[in-house]
Amino acid sequence: MDGDWECLRADVRRTIDELIADGRESGVQVAAYLHGSPMLDVHAGSADRATGRALGGDTPIWSASTGKALTATVVHVLAERGELDYDLRIAEVWPEFGRHGKEWISLRHALTHTAGVPVLPADVTPEDFTDWDRMCAIVADSEPIAPPGAVSAYHAWTFGWLVGEVVRRVTGRRVSQVLAEDVAGPLGVADELYLAVPAADLDRLARVEDRNLSALFAFASANLPHFDRVAPAGVRPGAEIGGRADVLAAEVPATGTVTARALARMLAALIGEVDGVRLISPDRLRAATTPDGPSGPEWVFGQQTTWGLGYAVDDDGSFGAAGSGGSLGFAYPELGLTVAATKTLLAAGDGDPMEDLRVRIRDAVAARR
């Protein structure tokens, strides 16, 4: 396989080097697996421009909502074992959540962003994010914007506490612990896939910086009436919050800290076997990636969005997640392909180079079928 894809690897490397040279990027990782084996693992640039530390393939990077793929995967691994049911009513295991008419919201609604509870208080702070019980109490006391299943509304932050608290109540373990023990551990990447970074590993992380993502948030705040309700000014998912050690170490499972190669490996173990590990069955995979929820524009951004159970589902047959600033991780079951990318310079509005690379890798593999 090494020789088969050497030209593609060189092309990806050349593209990344050019992006770094012209200042559009500072540190980038791109990785892909094909039929359970590593196909591509390219990394270049800086992990920390202030110190000159180089970015390695094993350097984790805070990757915003791309981390939702990790949290969703935890759910499916537990469901595969019979420990969770997608149609579990959240209030059955978390009674406080049933306030204000939320007693019929299910785990399925949370996974498909149709629970109707995407909103956070306007004055929520990063310090609040470090207090799991406080954030769960806020979510439990929230009033829904719509009945369960009625409206697709991106639960940018609340997704993590909704799903994570169900996992904790059912298993007695935090979602980051389940990820480490039942997903990342068996795949040999427990030090590269995090929902909460251990204090001892914080110095290993890359440092994310803002290029122009904050400008996009300012535009969204001014032009999208629901944006600030979902991502209040103090906790927008950019470099400021993604650079805080206290938040990185906390359980905030709507986001994650990953390497591209570990994320590609995890996705590969969802669609097939990787070194003897397959995380879920083919039937479970189909259930997790079948579109679910209402049609029509999404409530926050006004765009058409298709969700499976915790993963975005694209028209090209892929499923996965993408994060503010340019990270992504997607799997193509029919191609046996997974692609992941993450980077340190968070940007928007000037094209999407990581998405372009994803498409380039996908097309190269599809052309050889």
Q: Is 1 exposed, middle or buried (0-12, 13-18, 19+ CB in 10 A)?
A: exposed
Question: How many Cα atoms occupy the beta-carbon half-sphere of 147 within 13 Å?
Answer: 3
The beta-strand segments (E) located in 165-237 are 193-194, 209-210
Query: Smallest Cα–Cα separation from 341: which of 69, 113, 76, 43?
Result: 43
**Sequence-separated (6 or more) residues with CB below 8 Å from residue 62:** 205, 206, 208, 242, 243, 248, 255, 256, 257
Residue type, 205: L
Residues 15 and 49 sit within 8 Å (Cβ to Cβ): no
* Catalytic (active site) residue 281: no
Residues 342 and 260 sit within 8 Å (Cβ to Cβ): yes
C-alpha dist (Å) from residue 44 to 17, 179, 295: 7, 27, 40
| Structure-token pair, residue 16 | 């990344």
Residues 337 and 361 sit within 8 Å (Cβ to Cβ): yes
Residue 257, SS3 per DSSP: strand
The residues pairing with 321 across neighbouring beta strands, listed in sequence order, are: 329
Triad 104, 98, 139: Cα angle to 5°:
110
| Structure-token pair, residue 143 | 């009033």
Question: How many Cα atoms occupy the beta-carbon half-sphere of 205 within 13 Å?
Answer: 25
Catalytic-role residue among 26, 65, 106, 318: 65
Termini Cα distance of the chain: 14
Which residues does the annotation mark as catalytic?
Answer: 65
